[in-house]
Structure formats: C-alpha cells, structure tokens
C-alpha cells in the first residue's frame, strides 16, 4: 500500500475518533466560557481532528499524482473517505441541534448522487475529474462544518452568524456543483 492510500485510510480511521469526541460528553471538564460563548474541550478536540482529516483530502491526491502512485484502490477510497467524514459530522451536528436537517440532507444527497454518477461513468470507461465547483463545494462545506463545530467562534463574540451564513453558502454551492456535474456528464446517462 502506497503513502497516498495510507493517508486516505488515516482519514477514514479518524472519523470514529472524531465522532467519539464530538458525541461523548466529558462532564467532569467544565466548558470554556467567554461572556455568553461556551465550548467544551471535547468539541475543540473533535474540531481539530476534523480539520486534520479534512486537510489530508488534498494531500493524498497531490502525493498520488506527484509520485505517480494513483491506484484503483485510491480512486475508490478517496471519495469514500470524503463522504464518510462529511456525512458523519453533519449527522452528528443535526443530532446536536447545530445544523438544520435540510442542509445535511441536501449535502449528503448530492454526495450520493454524484458518487452514483461517477460509478456510471466508470462503467462507461470515463473518469470524471473534479470540477472547480466541486473544489469550492468542499472548501465551503469544511468552513461551515468548522464554524458549527466551534460554536461560531470567534464570530459569536461580535454577533455575526458566520456559522449560519457559511452553512447556507455551502448548501447553495453544493447544489450548484451537483447540477454542474450532471449537466457536464449527461452523456453517460442512458435512459433507454
């Protein structure tokens, strides 16, 4: 197994660790509180794990291309790792009351739909490259998720609902990027 695939597997293995810190409450540790803002230590740890895991997304692909280590396993694992990370954290944030269920459903549905389209394209012998909108989608989703994980810190201190704004921006770009993928790759869909 090459280095790029090991990095991708690390991202997958970080998902349950992040979930543990996100969903388990360490009552014996008091939260950090600044005026009306508070955050628990386990939320900070979960956010740091998410940031580390999300940052490996570009690293594994870069290494695979730079060192000519692109493998079929990597092509399968990389999008799977991305979907697991985003879906797990969004579902958890809905459970915690930090994310609207509609946003989570839209984002996760788009991920499944585009993954399905990619699979159909592969069966046709076509590889769908990531688009610029797909990259923007990823960046806005990561930004929104980090803002929600950190209880909108530091923007909450100045009264800016950055978490809400970034979440809706992520949802809109997610929808647009999904439509873009289907329009640009409609040739792989055969309805007969």
Please write the tens of the pLDDT for every residue from 140-160.
Answer: 999 999 999 999 998 988 899
- Residue 118, pLDDT > 70, answer yes
pLDDT value at residue 86:
94
Instruction: For residues 82 and 37, give the distance between their C-alpha atoms in angstroms, rounded to a whole number.
Output: 30
Q: Is the backbone of residue 16 left (phi > 0), alpha (psi -120 to 50) or beta?
A: alpha
- pLDDT tens for 85-105 read 999 999 999 999 999 999 999
pLDDT at 174: 96
pLDDT over threshold 60, residue 37: yes
Round to whole Å and give the CA distance between 57 and 63: 11
Residue 22: HSE in the Cβ half-sphere, 13 Å Cα cutoff: 29
**Rounded CA gap, 147 and 135, in Å?**
18
What is the spatial distance between Cα 131 and Cα 134, in angstroms, rounded to a whole number? 5
Side-chain half-sphere of 189: how many Cα atoms within 13 Å? 12
SS3 labels along 79-137:
HHHHHHHHHHHHHHHHHCCCCCHHHHHHHHHHHHHHHHHHHHHHHCCCCCCCCHHHHHH
Question: Structural domain boundaries of the chain?
Answer: 3-188
CB of 174 closer than 8 Å to CB of 106: yes
pTM reported for the whole predicted model: 0.89
Residue 32 main-chain phi, psi, to 5 deg? -80, 130
Provide the pLDDT for residue 12.
93
Evaluate if residue 14 carries a pLDDT over 90: yes
Domain covering 3-188 in this structure, CATH number: 1.20.120.1760
């Amino acid at each position: 197994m090459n280095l790029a695939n090991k990095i991708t597997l690390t991202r997958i293995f970080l998902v349950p660790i992040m979930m543990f810190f996100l969903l388990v409450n360490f009552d014996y540790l008091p939260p950090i509180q600044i005026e009306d803002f508070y955050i628990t230590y386990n939320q900070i740890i979960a956010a740091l794990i998410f940031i580390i895991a999300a940052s490996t997304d570009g690293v594994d692909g870069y290494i695979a291309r730079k060192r000519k280590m692109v493998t079929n396993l990597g092509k399968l694992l990389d999008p799977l790792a991305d979907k697991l990370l985003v879906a797990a954290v969004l579902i958890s944030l809905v459970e915690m009351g930090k994310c609207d269920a509609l946003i989570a459903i839209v984002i996760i549905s788009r991920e499944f739909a585009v993954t399905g389209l990619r699979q159909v394209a592969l069966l046709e012998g076509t590889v769908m490259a990531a688009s610029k909108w797909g990259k923007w989608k990823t960046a806005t989703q990561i930004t929104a998720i980090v803002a929600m994980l950190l209880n909108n810190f530091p923007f909450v201190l100045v009264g800016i609902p950055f978490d809400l704004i970034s979440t809706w921006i992520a949802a809109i770009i997610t929808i647009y990027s999904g439509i873009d993928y289907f329009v640009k790759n409609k040739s792989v869909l055969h309805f007969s």
